[in-house]
Each structure stands twice: as structure tokens, then as C-alpha cells.
Amino acid sequence: MIIGVDCDLREITWKADTTVFPGEYQGAAAPGIAALVHYLGSEELPATILYEIAGAVDYTDNKGAAHNKRRWTIYNVAMAARLHELFTAKLFKHTMLVAPSSAWTGGYTEKQRHLLYKCTASTHDLRECEAMARSYRRHPDKWTPFNLYIENL
């Protein structure tokens, strides 16, 4: 099973790319993590968790936009570390892979990705989770284990 995770400031979205036991969440981070823990605990099979992580390079010129981007980057990487610890070490033996959008999107715009991967979820963030999972099925080499990503920054 593959689960795409999209993390914004104080909000998390995840969607399992499966028809056997579908699950999804979009909202506040703490309940979202609890919902994901419950979902993964009800599954017998190990999951591959895909997480869009902040990239190491920022080209933002505008001071206000740069400030917001830095806030998001700090939160995003901290949440990745939290999820990695939770899902790969403490509770479960799942695999957590990460990629910045510049790596996994293949240069396609959001609209092109949603068409290419036939994403039909009700919201933008849920469609991005679908796109991550379906992109991974075609290009697993674009994703890397979280600990290797951090070590190679």
C-alpha cells in the first residue's frame, strides 16, 4: 500500500492509494497523525509512505514570501522527522520516502499531473497525494529514504 502525505503549516493531508481499504484525511496536524496511526494500525501489510519534503534551495526574492516559505520549510521538515520516527521506528515497520516537489513532479504543472495520473479526489491537497502515489509507481527512483535525504543535504 502507498500513502501520499502533503504537509502545510499546521495542516496535514494524506490519502491511501488503494481500493481495498481506502482512507484519507485533510485538516489539523495532530488529529491527522492520529487518524493515520489508526489507519496504519488496522492494516496488516507494511506501507510505503511518500512525503513531499521542503527542498534545500529557495529562490524567493520577496521578503514576506521568503519569511512564509522559511516557516513552512521548518514546519515541513520537523513534521517529516516526527512522522519518520513514528512510522518507521516506534510503532510500525513502514517505509517513509521523501522527495521535494522539484524531484517527483517531473516538471509537470499541478494541472498536468492531475490529468496525467487521473487524480479525482475532492480537494487540491488530496489530488496531490494521489499524484505522489501514482508518480511513485512509475518513477520510484525519484524518492529517497528520509534519513538519507537529511544526511545528504
Tell me the pLDDT tens digit for each residue of 21-77. 678 899 898 898 888 888 887 666 678 999 999 887 777 788 888 888 888 899 999
Give φ, ψ of 97 to 5 degrees.
-110, 145
**pLDDT tier at 5 (50, 70, 90 boundaries)?**
very high
pLDDT at 97 over 60: yes
Please give the average per-residue pLDDT across 6-15, as a whole number: 91
Of 76, 48, 55, nearest to 145 by C-alpha is: 48
The model's pTM is 0.89
Residue 46 confidence (pLDDT): 77
**pLDDT tier at 113 (50, 70, 90 boundaries)?**
very high
Q: Cell numbers for 81, please give them.
A: 522527522
Cα dihedral value 18, 22, 25, 26, nearest 10 = 60
Please give the average per-residue pLDDT across 99-105, as a whole number: 92
Please state, rounded to an integer, the average pLDDT across all residues of the chain. 88
Residue-number span of the structural domain to which 33 is assigned: 2-151
Q: What's the order of all strands across the beta sheet hosting 48-52?
A: 24-28, 11-16, 2-8, 48-52, 95-99, 144-145
Residue 23 confidence (pLDDT): 86
Residue 91 confidence (pLDDT): 57
Number of domains in the chain: 1
Please give the average per-residue pLDDT across 127-147, as a whole number: 95
Helix axes 63-84, 29-41, angle to 10 degrees: 30
CATH number, domain with residue 51: 3.30.420
